[in-house]
Structure formats: structure tokens, C-alpha cells
Amino acid sequence: MIKKIGIVSLSSVTGAASIIASVIPLLAVAYPNQSLTSVESLVTISSLSALVTILLNNFIVRKIGIKPTIIAGLFLGAISGILPFFVSNYYLFLCLRIILGIGIGLYSPHAISLISLFYSGRERTKLLGIQMGISALGNAILLFIAGWLASFGWRWTFFVYSSLAVIALLILSKVPNVTIKKAESKKVRPLNKTVTLYIILCFLTFLIIWGIQLKLLAYLVENSISSSSKSGMLLSLMNIAGMCAGLSFSFFFDRIKRFLLPISYIGAAICVWGILLSANFLFISLFSVLFNFIYSFTGPSIILKTNSLAEEDQIIKVNSLISSTTILSMYLAPLCWNFFTGLFSREDNVSVTFSLIIASLFFIGVVIFLSYLLKKAPKKN
């Protein structure tokens, strides 16, 4: 039981790069000679440097092992995360944030990998769902703690990264070493084509969720609902819905099996359609929360499928690629959705963006549903 807690606890800090986002206005005041873009880069740069070590993770694990990689990443993240408390120089601050990202890239893919390597079957399904729920819950708790620490001064916010050291000690003492079975041939085997398709699907899935999160607040403004308290409440409720979906994933997957994935896309499309047809905050909120609950089943479904299809010696690589897609999709979402919206209307026309998202969700859901049916159908002589 303690081993499971140690493994799942790693998921609570996978979003560590963005937990100081709430102090960006205070950082802008602290660094008046820097542009707003430069100040915001203190948050975003960690995600970019994390991407580098995520892509190199498979190589690093093969050199030093999975547990040492995780521990090194957590301690590196804790130290570089806390040190800005003592630093005033902007460029030194920026370097520390880059190092933080390197640490995050070392440990974050293994929030999934450890579950896949230690568990299988129903236990794996259950823990992958819990992993997503804990990720949402951990991010919400860390954001709350960061906000509370900021009340003492923006520098105190960085002590939130001490949580990485706590989890490092927990994993160090309670999670056993794991050895990955090496491939018999020295030749690097390519990923299964189906696994590759699911990784591409993962990218598209996150591209859509970032599109919703980017445009939802703008849609509220379009409908004359510009209260920051209402916007904050809606985002909090959506996060809670995502957490509930993760914790209940095993329950729904046991009953619907593989069809949970296409149903989630189609159900999410209906919810976005509901948002588009709504004109008041109550119904927009209802469909938004329902969307996040239903759509949150897609992530664990894809992860479960890729980890089941991949060879054991490819699990680290697969989960590193999945982690990479979440970061890439976050950066490409504004460009993609503004570009495609601009083909049909103005870039800032949220209704057109939502219509494109609805069409994308329906298309993905129907294609997956039909592909599953065709696979199940017996071949005719």
C-alpha cells in the first residue's frame, strides 16, 4: 500500500512548472525593466527545458536506471525551484527556471511508467485513473499553497517546490528499484504502428483541451460574463470534474471497456455544442464541467492502450513521447486554433473555434468507434 502511495504521489508534482503562474503580476512589478513576455517566460521556459530531458529520458534511464533518474529529477527540481527566493538577478532567475524544467523532465514521464512497470490488468487500469485524478488534485493544492505563500511576498511562493524533496524521500524509501527487460536484439525496434497512432491521437486530444481552456474565458466575455470570480470558480469546478473522472475511470472502463474512448469524444462534442448554444453562466458552467468530466476519460484510455501495446523495454520511450505531446500541444494550441479559425472567420471568433472543435471531436469519436467495430466483426470467407 505504501509503495502505491509513493508511486502515485509522483503524479501530484507533474505540473510543477506552472504553479507560480499566479505571481506573474507581482513578478512584472519586481522586474519593471523586463517586458511582460520576458516575465511570463519565467513560467513557460521550464516547460520547454523539460521537453529536452523528456525526449532524452529513455537514454538517461538506460544509463543510470529509472529510480535514480526520478530521485535526481525531484531533488534538482526542489533545489532550483526554491533558490529564486534568494535571487534578484533576472537572468540567474531564468537559468534556475531552466534547471527546474530539466528536473521535471527527468521525473514526470515516470508517473505513468512506474504504474505500468509494477502493475498490470485491472490494477493498472485503476491506478492510471487515480494517477490522473491525483495529478489534478495535486496541481490544485500546490496552486492554493503557492497563492497562500504569495500573501507573505512573492519570493515565498518558491518554497512550494519543497514538496518535490518530500516526494523524493518518499520514493527513495518506499518504492523499490525496478529493472527493465532489455530487448534481445541490439537493434532499436520501432514502435508498433498502433502505438504511434495513439500517440498522435494523444497530441490531438490535448490540442483540443487546450483550445477549450484558451477560448472558454473569451466566450464568457462574449456573453457579457466577465467576472473574474465566476471565471475562477468555473475553472476550479472543471478541475474537480477532471479529478472525479480520474478516480472513477476504473469503474467506467470495467463496464464499457474500449468503447469508453470513442464515447468520451462524442460525449465531449455534445457538451461543447451545449456550451455554444448556452447564453447564461449557469448552463455554460454546467456543460463546461460535464465536458471536462467526460473528456478526462480520454487521457487514461489512451495511456492504458499505449502501455498495453508497447513492449516492456519501450514503456519509458512511449510515456516520454506522451509527456512531450502535452507540452507541444500547449504551445501549439493558440497558433493552430487561431489559424484554422482565421480560415473561416476572424481569429477571435470563439464560436467558430468551438464549431471546429465540435467537428473534430465528432470525427475522431466516430472514426475510432467504427475502427473498433470493424476489428470486432468476423472476417468473411
pLDDT, position 376: 58
Which set of grid coordinates corresponds to residue 268?
Answer: 465531449
pLDDT, position 278: 86
Q: Where are the alpha helices (DSSP H) in 10-65?
A: 24-30, 36-64
Predicted confidence (pLDDT) per residue in 44-90, tens digit? 788 888 888 888 888 888 888 889 999 999 999 999 999 999 988 99
Asked whether residue 364 carries a pLDDT value surpassing 90, the answer given is yes
The whole-angstrom separation of Cα 306 and Cα 315 is: 9
For 319, how many CA atoms within 13 A lie in the half-sphere containing its CB? 29
CA angle 26, 216, 212 (to 5 degrees): 105
pLDDT, position 226: 60
Contact call for residues 100 and 228 (beta carbons, < 8 A)? no
End-to-end Cα, the chain, rounded Å:
51
Contact call for residues 330 and 293 (beta carbons, < 8 A)? no
pLDDT, position 379: 47
Contact call for residues 258 and 304 (beta carbons, < 8 A)? no
pLDDT, position 267: 96
Average pLDDT over residues 218-227: 72
pLDDT, position 183: 45
Asked whether residue 177 carries a pLDDT value surpassing 50, the answer given is yes
Contact call for residues 313 and 181 (beta carbons, < 8 A)? yes
Predicted confidence (pLDDT) per residue in 322-341, tens digit? 888 888 887 788 888 888 88
Q: Where are the alpha helices (DSSP H) in the chain?
A: 2-9, 24-30, 36-64, 66-82, 90-107, 110-118, 121-150, 162-174, 193-222, 228-256, 260-277, 281-295, 298-309, 315-344, 350-376
Q: Whats the size of the chain, residue-wise?
A: 381
Contact call for residues 310 and 191 (beta carbons, < 8 A)? yes
The whole-angstrom separation of Cα 260 and Cα 273 is: 20
Average pLDDT over residues 152-177: 90
Helix (H) or strand (E) holding 203: helix 193-222
pLDDT, position 184: 44
Average pLDDT over residues 99-116: 89
Contact call for residues 16 and 100 (beta carbons, < 8 A)? yes
Predicted confidence (pLDDT) per residue in 202-218, tens digit? 999 999 988 888 788 77
Contacts of 318 (CB under 8 A, 6+ apart): 191, 195, 199, 306, 307, 310
Mean pLDDT, all residues of the chain: 85
Q: Which of 147, 158, 162, 206 is nearest to 333 (CA)?
A: 206
Q: In this structure, what is the dihedral angle of CA atoms 28, 29, 32, 38, given to the nearest 10 degrees?
A: -10
The percentage of residues in the chain with a pLDDT greater than 70, rounded to a whole number, is: 93
The whole-angstrom separation of Cα 164 and Cα 232 is: 26
Highest mean pLDDT among 263-267, 276-280, 374-378: 263-267
pLDDT, position 326: 83
The whole-angstrom separation of Cα 45 and Cα 327 is: 11
pTM reported for the whole predicted model: 0.78
pLDDT, position 182: 53
Average pLDDT over residues 5-26: 82
pLDDT, position 357: 95
pLDDT, position 59: 86
Q: Which of 110, 176, 124, 174 is nearest to 318 (CA)?
A: 110
CA angle 347, 349, 351 (to 5 degrees): 140
Contact call for residues 84 and 103 (beta carbons, < 8 A)? no
Highest mean pLDDT among 19-28, 228-237, 276-285, 308-317: 276-285
pLDDT, position 378: 46
Average pLDDT over residues 146-157: 86
The whole-angstrom separation of Cα 53 and Cα 343 is: 36
